[in-house]
Structure 1
Amino acid sequence: MRVYLLVMALAAVITYLLIPAVRTVARRTNALTPLRDRDVHTVPTPRLGGIAMFLGFAGALLIASRTSFLGDVFAISNQAWGILGAAGFIVVLGMADDIWDLDWMTKFVGQVLAAGILVWQGVQLVTLPVFGLTIISSTMSLLLTIFVVLVAINAVNFVDGLDGLAGGMVAIGGSAFFVYSYLLTRSTEPTDYSDLATMVMAALVGSCLGFLPHNFSPASIFMGDSGAMFLGLTVSAAAIVVTGSMDPGTAIEGLSTLTLPAYLPILLPVAVMIVPLIDLGFAVVRRVGAGKSPFTADGGHLHHRLLALGHSRRRAVAVMYLWTALFAFGTVGFAFLEVELMVPLLAVVVVIALVATLLPRIVGRRRHAR
């Protein structure tokens, strides 16, 4: 665990220290987020924060590759280098979009190519730990992997609309993923705790933590598409590594016998990304229903709805943090704790989350009643 925490700390420190330099580059290249009707910021703000996040992530992984504990993770296969290469590619694509505002088709093709790099280096879905399902067709494996990566990339990109929102949500969900992956590794490999997905999530969470002090409201820099697409791709890559490499018939010591642990490798990535995925789904339905492209920007995202309810920007972000933690850590809890404990605990947290979400309306009704 100490090595993973060191990886997380390294990613956080490198990212934090690089932000001022990246902010200067963003201003000199005019990579500034303009003021638009759907935006909540009041002054043009530098983006390109994803560059610092990637460099923090990459620096931590490169240092990890030189340690005796995690060195074998890089030596056994090309997956770690594939994730690093695909992440670098998607950051360059996002950087170009942050500076020159690429059209949606160019970004889509670039996202497919990034996912292709993952597949090329062996990061792909080969098995699904449900009913022992094995994906026999290489074409099906390729298409399903690319689909998962594209959904994750665009889900994070769609939800990135308030200061600290996307970075904080990925940090929270990624922390739950990190805990699950680490405990899973300890259960399945009691003599060797080194694991690719755990290492990737540690570095990813660290890069988010290093970025967030610069991104909390009022933000001095945005992550931009370079950051949002980087986060989505990296989370999906870690999820694919866990899901695609797990033997569906393996009994996992330490998991609750009263739950369905075999489903967790699939359910957890969904739980980690559930709020961005819901936002993505509503956005696609809303835009297609209006006869527009699903990539057309609008002001109907979940964070916009929270603002419309009367939340301040910071409270809206806190509410979405709360729901993310509820789904992510709730799912992990069902893996390692008994149902009798988890159900009442989650029920209390759900009530708290609902009250927090609807608080402006509740307070408004009481004032009106007076």
Structure 2
Amino acid sequence: MREYLLVFLVAAAVTYLLGVVAREVAVRTGAVAQVRDRDVHAVPIPYFGGVAMLGGLVAAYVVAQSLPFLSTAQATVFDDAGTVLVAGALICAVGVLDDLIELNPLMKLGGQVAAAGFLVLNGVQFYFIIQPGGGQMTLDTLQAQLFSILLVVATVNAVNFVDGLDGLAAGVVGLGAVGFFVFSYTLADANDETLAITAALLCAGLAGVCAGFLPHNFWPARIFMGDSGSMLLGLVLAGSALTLTGQFTPRVFVDGTGGDTSFLPVLMPVLLPVAILIVPFVDLVLAVVRRTAAGRSPFAPDKQHLHHRLLEIGHSHRRAVLIMWLWAALLAVGSVVASLYSGPATWAALGAWAVLTVVATFSLPRVRTSL
């Protein structure tokens, strides 16, 4: 655990330091977010936060290879992590181009599919799905590859869609990475598997880069992550989930739930990435439905995302971000707890947390107005 903490700290420190450099490069190259009707910032803000994040992930990866315990991991641990980072560099490069010249949506989607394809061609993909009752559904090669690419592209776009307020995407993904780290680490520990696993390594680094970027990005932001950052975060989070079925056997997923083979705990390991990003996924689906119903492209931007609606009902910028963090934490932590533990106390605690979050979401603006 201490070595994972060091990986987190290295990723955070390097990202924070590179954020200053990235901001200066963005200003000099003209990669700046101008103020548009749908935006909530009032002055132009530099992009390229994703480049700083990529640097933080690479630094954490290099340091991890020299640590006493993690350096003894099987070769597949660092091979798979390296594959995810290379794919991350590819999608980050696509994002940099978009920040500079604004690629059309189809070109951007093509870059996302290419990066996801690189993952599956190098063995980072789903290999099986756990069924209710503890059974296993093995996927053939084409099914596994298509399912894996779909998960990566959906996650990338979900994070991209939620990146609409200062600090929002970094906080949501950071909380999700912490939740997924706890899940993968506990799963390995409970089954006496090695604790040096790719998912934990990637999530420790991912949480670190989010923490290191937030001081630059929380309202009022001095730099934006841009598409280079949002797509990178989505790919690394999805990639960390894909590595689990490549390094764990089906028995680990069933036994890791305490032998409970009921529907929710057994399926949760596969559904966990979706649960972690359920808020941006819901936002993504609503946006596609809303735009296509209006006869517009599903990629056409608008100002009707969930975070925009929080501002409309009376939340301040910072409070809207904090409330969406609360939802993300509830779903990330709740998913982990539900997949590893069960019982009335667990559901009661999660229910109470949900009620408090709903109250904060809808009641605080009214209380503020009445004062």
Q: TM-score, normalised by structure 2?
A: 0.94
**What residue is the counterpart of 1:14 in the other structure?**
14
Q: Which structure 2 residue ranges, 5 or more long, are not aligned?
A: none
Show the 5 A alignment for 1:23-172: 23-73=23-73, 75-76=75-76, 78-130=79-131, 131-136=135-140, 138-172=141-175
> Hey, what's the Cα distance between the residues in 1 that align with 2:260 and 2:298?
42
Pick from 207, 219, 222 the counterpart of residue 221 of structure 2: 219
**What residue is the counterpart of 1:291 in the other structure?**
295
Pick from 173, 188, 210 the counterpart of residue 212 of structure 2: 210
**What residue is the counterpart of 1:234 in the other structure?**
236
The answer as to 2:191 corresponding to 1:188 is yes
> In percent, how many aligned pairs have the same letter?
45
- CA deviations over 1:294-340 (Å, ceiling 9, x no partner): 11110010000100111000010011000011111011112333321
Instruction: State the 1:162 CA deviation.
Output: 0.3
Residues 315 and 365 of structure 2 are in contact (CA less than 8 Å); yes or no, is this contact kept in structure 1?
no
Secondary structure class of the residue paired with 2:325:
helix
- Quote the RMSD (CA, aligned, Å): 1.8
Amino acid at match of 2:301: A
Amino acid at match of 2:42: T
Instruction: State the 1:366 CA deviation.
Output: 5.2
> Hey, what's the Cα distance between the residues in 1 that align with 2:256 and 2:81?
27
- CA deviations over 1:161-215 (Å, ceiling 9, x no partner): 000000000111111111111111112234x211000000000000000000010
**Structure 2 CA distance for partners of 1:85 and 1:358, relative to 1, 3 Å:** same
Amino acid at match of 2:199: A
> Hey, what's the Cα distance between the residues in 2 that align with 1:253 and 1:157?
32
> Hey, what's the Cα distance between the residues in 2 that align with 1:228 and 1:115?
15
Q: TM-score, normalised by structure 1?
A: 0.94
Pick from 189, 200, 203 the counterpart of residue 202 of structure 2: 200
Amino acid at match of 1:231: L
Q: Which structure 1 residue ranges, 5 or more long, are not aligned?
A: none
> Hey, what's the Cα distance between the residues in 2 that align with 1:22 and 1:183?
36
Secondary structure class of the residue paired with 1:128:
strand
Residues 257 and 341 of structure 2 are in contact (CA less than 8 Å); yes or no, is this contact kept in structure 1?
no
**What residue is the counterpart of 1:321 in the other structure?**
325
> Hey, what's the Cα distance between the residues in 1 that align with 2:360 and 2:259?
31
